[in-house]
Amino acid sequence: MIKKKNTEKKIVRLGYCRVSTDDRQEMSLENKIEMMRQQNCNHIYSEHGSGINDKRVEFQKMLKHIKELAGDENNIVYLIVFKNDRLSRKLRTLVNTIEDLMELGINYISLIDHIDTSSIWGGMFFQILSSFNEYEVLNTIERVKIGLDKAKENIRKTFYY
């Protein structure tokens, strides 16, 4: 008997919620978790901590889970966040993470920022965000180069006068 390959797609929605200590005026973690439940998330990762720290425990667990899910071609996976800055406060980390998700075939949704990379508009918006990140990287490299050139010139002036 020939076994049929299971071609039924399974939709998996992962939610990620984070609040930091200075989020007193924003929604509580519980409210954000409830928002993820309303999005029918199968699993919700939540934590307290700074979005500048890339080594957040739940953030790392979520990334590992996503890679596991991406390995199954029958999964259609969505990562849903309340707002972009909840995923990361560092633009470079945010852009790199979303690019990694897209390479894995994972869809990214930011509820407040109205980004959905599974749509043409969301993909375009993300590309614009990526362009700003690339500009910032190049600008930083240029500033460092200028700073090094000035430092070299100051050393020459100091030792050759």
pTM of the model: 0.75
- The domain limits of the chain are 10-129
DSSP state of 8: -
Query: Which one is the CATH code of 10-129: 3.40.50.1390, 3.10.310.70, 3.30.70.120, 1.20.120.1200?
Result: 3.40.50.1390
- Which one is catalytic: 20, 46, 110, 118? 20
Annotation says 50 is catalytic? no
CA atoms of 108 and 97, how far apart (whole Å): 10
pLDDT digits (tens, 9 = 90+) for 121-160: 888 887 787 777 677 777 888 888 898 888 888 887 776 6
